[in-house]
Amino acid sequence: MQLTTARTRPGSDQITRIAFKDGVHSIRIALPEIRTHDTNRFRKELAALYEPGKPLLIAMSLKRVNILSSACMGMLVEFSDALAPVGCGLVLYDVPKDISKMLKKLGLHKQLPIAKSGDHARKLVRANMPVHPGGIRGSAA
């Protein structure tokens, strides 16, 4: 898949690599470890995408992530909760098995839906299906 615009430079210190295509922000996490001290920077990078009056649709790949702190998980849940009432959404994909297990064990997969693939995540988030309650219908959760 060719992405139309990238908001980060290779080698930058940003946590995310963001591209926008067909109304969906495709986000790849650039770091293998997202620690507690990264939470505020991560939140700012995501919040910078929001433009009032425009839907914010995010398909986020966690493929490279080995460690995701509980603070970052909590921030993603808060971010997802803030998006839902304004018709926006966040869907995760390429989630490593251990992180997926943890999300499911804690019940967070209901607030952070997990798709089967990037295309599936973009399709689900574009369809603007309700994230709450119970996650996105048809997710791999």
User: pLDDT band at 133, cuts 50/70/90?
Assistant: very low
In the chain, the number of structural domains is 1
Q: What is the DSSP string of 23-75?
A: TEEEEEE--SEE-GGGHHHHHHHHHTT--TTS--EEEEE-TT-SEE-HHHHHH
Q: Are 100 and 107 in contact (CB under 8 A)?
A: no
Q: Considering the domain boundaries, does residue 137 fall inside one?
A: no
Read off the pTM.
0.80
Bridge partners of 90?
Answer: 58
Q: Considering the domain boundaries, does residue 141 fall inside one?
A: no
- Half-sphere exposure (Cβ direction) of 63: Cα atoms closer than 13 Å: 14
Give residue-wise pLDDT tens across range 71-130.
999 999 999 998 888 878 999 999 999 999 999 999 999 899 999 999 999 999 988 644
Separation CA 76–CA 70 (nearest Å): 10
Q: Considering the domain boundaries, does residue 30 fall inside one?
A: yes
Here the CATH number for the domain that contains residue 85 is 3.30.750.24
Structural domain for 115, as ranges: 5-126
